[in-house]
């Protein structure tokens, strides 16, 4: 069981206001359930729901939630990476925190048209644009990718784009290219995103064809591509209806 940072802060705050001052009171408060303190109630819930082992402390009263330890007769919540780091796993087993929904963009009509034309989810198109350019139609990457969906010159030319900074052309071509990758990998979105970012040839060298296989060899992809897949997935949540 993992205590998120918000809960940890709440526990810490309640602990400061609690009248628990020694181990005997702690035992009585948690195990006998006789305390009315918010800290005791919340902590008891976490302790009872955890099945971990405790070392160096009486097992009958030891806190079993990760990061919670005894010190000087009190309980302490250690706020390390496990509590504060973002818990996102692009394999699909992620723990997601609440995400604020984003409102309309300046390119909704163009995105809707491209979505209907190529059969790509609107939220996914917006997530790619958000991740690639933050909706800046004039951005140029260090590698030379241009526009909203960061088209390389060769890709843009192959898709018939004459002006990669034109939002209409860029969104249409970028969505078409993304649809090619989605179709190439039979709807496997992570595979399509990896191909969009790193190129389909790199995936071909890995010898993978499904998202599950991709996850098994994820460490063989560039760090940028691994982060890219996660960022797009996170961004997509903001634009889903």
**pLDDT tens digits for 35-82?**
455 555 555 555 555 444 444 444 444 444 444 444 444 434 444 433
132 is catalytic: yes
CB atoms within 10 A of CB 157: 13
Number of helices (H), then strands (E), belonging to the chain: the values are 12, 2
Higher pLDDT, 86 or 205: 205
pLDDT at 103: 78
Q: What is the dihedral of CA 44, 45, 50, 54, to 10 degrees?
A: -10
Query: Bridge-partner residues for 146, per DSSP?
Result: 140, 151
Q: How far is Cα 197 from Cα 191, in angstroms, rounded to an integer?
A: 10
pLDDT at 45: 57
Mapping DSSP to helix (H, G, I), strand (E, B) and coil, where does residue 93 land?
coil
Angle of the 223-239 helix axis to the 189-198 helix axis, nearest 10: 130
Question: Phi first, then psi: what are they for 17, rounded to 5°?
Answer: -95, -5
Q: How far is Cα 148 from Cα 103, in angstroms, rounded to an integer?
A: 18
Higher pLDDT, 162 or 24: 162
Higher pLDDT, 95 or 118: 118
Q: How far is Cα 199 from Cα 182, in angstroms, rounded to an integer?
A: 13
Query: Which of these is catalytic: 25, 122, 132, 212?
Result: 132
Q: Report pLDDT digits (tens) over 104-162.
A: 899 999 999 999 999 999 999 999 999 999 999 999 999 999 999 999 999 999 999 99
Q: How far is Cα 115 from Cα 199, in angstroms, rounded to an integer?
A: 22
For 30-34, 116-120, 174-178, which range has the lowest pLDDT when averaged over its residues? 30-34
H helix runs in 79-166, sequence order:
81-84, 108-118, 122-133, 153-158
Burial tier of 126 (Cβ tally within 10 Å: 0-12, 13-18, 19+): buried
pLDDT at 202: 87
The candidate with the shortest Cα–Cα distance to 241, out of 121, 118, 90, 98, is 121
Q: How far is Cα 144 from Cα 157, in angstroms, rounded to an integer?
A: 14
pLDDT at 190: 95
Q: How far is Cα 159 from Cα 151, in angstroms, rounded to an integer?
A: 10
CB neighbour list of residue 206: distance below 8 Å, 6 or more residues apart = 214, 217, 220, 221
């Amino acid at each position: 069981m993992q205590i998120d940072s918000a809960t940890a802060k709440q526990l810490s705050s309640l602990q400061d206001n609690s009248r628990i001052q020694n181990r005997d009171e702690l035992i009585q408060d948690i195990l006998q359930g006789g305390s009315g303190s918010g800290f005791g109630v919340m902590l008891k819930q976490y302790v009872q729901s955890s099945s971990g082992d405790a070392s160096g402390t009486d097992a009958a009263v030891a806190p079993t939630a990760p990061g919670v330890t005894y010190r000087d007769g009190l309980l302490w919540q250690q706020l390390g990476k496990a509590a504060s780091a973002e818990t996102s796993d692009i394999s699909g087993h992620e723990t997601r925190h609440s995400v604020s929904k984003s409102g309309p963009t300046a390119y909704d009509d163009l995105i809707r048209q491209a979505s209907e034309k190529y059969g790509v989810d609107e939220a996914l198109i917006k997530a790619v644009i958000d991740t690639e350019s933050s909706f800046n139609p004039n951005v140029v990457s260090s590698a030379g990718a241009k526009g909203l969906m960061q088209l390389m010159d060769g890709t843009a030319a192959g898709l018939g784009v004459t002006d990669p900074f034109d939002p209409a052309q860029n969104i249409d071509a970028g969505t078409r290219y993304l649809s090619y990758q989605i179709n190439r990998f039979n709807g496997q979105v992570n595979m399509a995103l990896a191909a969009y970012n790193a190129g389909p040839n790199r995936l071909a060298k890995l010898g993978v064809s499904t998202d599950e296989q991709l996850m098994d060899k994820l460490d063989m992809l560039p760090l940028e591509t691994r982060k890219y897949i996660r960022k797009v997935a996170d961004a997509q949540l903001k634009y889903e209806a």
